[in-house]
Structure 1
Amino acid sequence: MIVAAALPLLVEHGAAVSTLQIAKAAGIGEATVFRAFADKDELLDACVTAALRNDHVLAELDAVPLDQPLAARLAEVAATLQAYLERVGAVIDAVHAAGRRGQRGEPRDRSATGDRATATGRTHQAVVRLLEPDRAALRLPVEQLAVIFLGMLFGRRGAPGGAGTPIETLVDVFLHGVVGSAADPAVIAGGSA
């Protein structure tokens, strides 16, 4: 309850959020915060742990209807994962702003976040499930396409201007490539026109 109240405040106010603000948002007294957490650093660790959990993301991906067109399914996947990454980034940025750079925003109790490889694998499997209905029409195995799609989605955050690429554009390039239908095949192959 305390962490749930703290997360949006941490994103909104950053390092300036006080334990009194968090207590008020949770509907408890400030002393109760310090009965649950030794200090503000421990509370921040709990916030990072909660932000990194991807169970709710996987539940959202599992709820995407398989009977809608592939482009619509992929747009939902991209929007869901983008929102998750933005939430995690905002919480970690706020924790870093609180002077916790030495911890790199990582919680002290790594077991609380679960195994990163397991979380990544579960995300990959969720995307595979959403690609599966179109397996016969796709050029590559759905398992490989899930890796490529997730790489495009996650990789765009580190590319200059990448985070500004609309989801619809990402999905369109993934499904149809980068070459327009009117392109000269000789130019594409490396020849001259």
Structure 2
Amino acid sequence: MTPRARPMAPDDRRQAIVEAVIPLLVERGSELTTREIAQAAGIAEGTIFRVFPDKRSLFLAAAEEAMNPAGGEQAFDAALADVTDLREGVVVVTDRVLDRMRLTMSVMMAVRPQLIAAFHEEKAAGGKPDHGPPAFVLKAQSDLHARLTRLFEPHADRLSVDPGTAAVALRSLIFGAHRPELGMSPALTADQIADLLLGGVLARKDL
């Protein structure tokens, strides 16, 4: 029997479907069907298409949510609410970003065929597709930079650089720390990243 979706506000329904899709994309990749999505979300298959025009738009919405989740700002602030020590804050944030990055990489690999297809369809239609990252990727990076900058701002008087530059340095270490698809091993831990960022690579006797 086809499940009957319980009443929900449109935005809540959209969010529920997107959240159901993300782990399925990680597990099944681009072969995921709308039937499987409907079963996971506990809704009829037709409900999906009352919220999303097609499967591609749903997959891209899932990629956006994986990379920059709704409520991410509040979750970031909550994670640091009781943290006053800078090193501890760097470790907490690094762990969170590394976890999110692993999830995002899996989801983006799954939706890559959709992104490529959209690019070629727009090109075939005579349009001028953007060769750069999708807008949601750029927004996610901008939001992350703002959050990392806020991490350093209360400690600005102790820094040798401005908080924005410290944020760039931390982001660079995090993004370079775990790239298994490039054969980069071993990965850096959150503690190692914090030590490298705050202490550098020179031994204390050589500073």
Same fold (TM over 0.5): yes
Identity of aligned residues (%): 27
- Counterpart secondary structure, 2:71: helix
Cross-structure match for 1:147: 168
How many residues are aligned here?
A: 177
Which shifted more, 7-16 or 170-179? 7-16
Distance 1:7 1:148, change over 3 A: same
Deviation string for 1:55-79 (max 9, x for gaps)?
5333222221364311110011111
Contact 2:64 2:136 in 1 (8 A): no
Pick one of 191, 196, 203 that aligns with 1:168.
191
Give the C-alpha shift of residue 121 in structure 1: 3.6
Over the residues paired in the alignment, what is the CA RMSD in angstroms? Answer: 3.1
Pick one of 91, 108, 114 that aligns with 1:100.
114
Unpaired runs of at least 5, structure 2: 1-15, 123-129
Distance 1:122 1:33, change over 3 A: closer
Matched, 1:43 2:45: no
Distance 1:11 1:79, change over 3 A: same
Cross-structure match for 1:24: 39
Contact 1:66 1:130 in 2 (8 A): no
Distance 1:67 1:37, change over 3 A: closer
Give the C-alpha shift of residue 173 in structure 1: 0.7
TM-score in terms of structure 1 length: 0.75
Pick one of 107, 130, 144 that aligns with 1:91.
107
Distance 1:155 1:49, change over 3 A: same
Give the C-alpha shift of residue 115 in structure 1: 7.9
Matched, 1:129 2:150: yes
Amino acid across the alignment from 2:116: G
TM-score in terms of structure 2 length: 0.70
